[in-house]
Amino acid sequence: MKTPGQPRLGVNIDHVATLRQLRGTPYPSLLDAAKLVEDAGGEQITVHLREDRRHIQDADVVALRGSLKVLLNLEIAATDEMSQFARKIKPDWVCIVPEKRAELTTEGGLDLEKHEKRVSRIVKELSSAGIKVSLFVEPSLKAMKATQKMGAIAVELHTGRYCLATQNGLGKLSQSKAEKELNRIRDAGMLARKLGLHVHAGHGFDYENVRAVAELMDAEGKPLIEEYNIGHAIICRAVIVGMDRAVREMVSAVLAP
């Protein structure tokens, strides 16, 4: 049971759209998926409207905005097109992320030094429109200070490096690296809190590696991370836990009348 001060879970449903876009079918429905997230205790729907529209489409964001009971967090690159779109749709949160067209997923945090002017301007535009803004950055002390300077009210710590070190997948399994990365997340999160920022985290979490991060506490003994945004692992798990029913329904469908 969730008690006050416990973190909220934002569920990233981009890969529900990935499955739909693979075949151009009307299913799976993002709205149905979002409703299931709400019923299951997810407190936010997160979607990344990528510039190449590889999964989420503009119309998806419009439809979600019109039907969600929980918060909508829109991830966008720091471009004028995306800023304009977000101000029209008015999600509860915008998370500004870096974007390279060829990447498999968002591979690192924003480079705030390189894009200082543009990011600051877009944070200001969005904030003036009443949208809460977070910046997706590496868990470094420098990035925490830069996030505060740019006027965002929250930081989303990119946990990719930590997660890669805990999995035998794209990254190399290394306990010492995982510990080092976990310390970076803790130190950055603590500084962010001191600077008055909300602390969010995401990228690469699975059901196991999220536990060590969930155990990080702030100076008052409360969970350090206020919000998690998790996508791929949940969609992967949904395929497995949903397979039995999906097959049973199709077995019935192919039975001769």
Assess 162 for contact with ligand PXP (CB under 6 A).
Answer: no
Could you give the CA distance from residue 122 to residue 96 in angstroms, rounded to a whole number?
Answer: 9
How is residue 138 written in tokens?
Answer: 């590496």
Assess 186 for contact with ligand PXP (CB under 6 A).
Answer: no
Q: Which is nearer to ligand PXP, 211 or 248 (CB)?
A: 211
Q: Tell me the site size for ligand PXP, rule CB under 6 A.
A: 19
Window of 27-35, 57-65, 174-182, 196-204 that interacts with ligand PXP by CB under 6 A: 196-204
Assess 198 for contact with ligand PXP (CB under 6 A).
Answer: no
Among residues 29, 105, 174, 183, the one that binds ligand PXP under rule CB under 6 A: 105
CA atoms within 13 A on the CB side of 225: 24
Assess 8 for contact with ligand PXP (CB under 6 A).
Answer: no
Amino acid at 38: E
Could you give the CA distance from residue 150 to residue 139 in angstroms, rounded to a whole number?
Answer: 16
Among residues 60, 138, 156, 226, the one that binds ligand PXP under rule CB under 6 A: 156
Decide: helix, strand or coil at residue 99. coil
Nearest to 133 by CA among 195, 184, 189, 197: 197
How near is the Cβ of 153 to ligand PXP at its closest, in Å? Answer: 16
Could you give the CA distance from residue 89 to residue 59 in angstroms, rounded to a whole number?
Answer: 11
Among residues 9, 12, 64, 139, the one that binds ligand PXP under rule CB under 6 A: 12
Assess 205 for contact with ligand PXP (CB under 6 A).
Answer: yes
Cβ neighbour number for residue 63 with a 10 Å cutoff: 15
Residue numbers annotated as active site: 48, 75, 203
Q: Which is nearer to ligand PXP, 237 or 248 (CB)?
A: 237
Could you give the CA distance from residue 50 to residue 97 in angstroms, rounded to a whole number?
Answer: 10
Could you give the CA distance from residue 154 to residue 174 in angstroms, rounded to a whole number?
Answer: 30
Contacts with ligand PXP, residue ranges (CB under 6 A) = 12, 14, 48, 75, 95, 97, 105-106, 136, 156, 202-205, 229-233
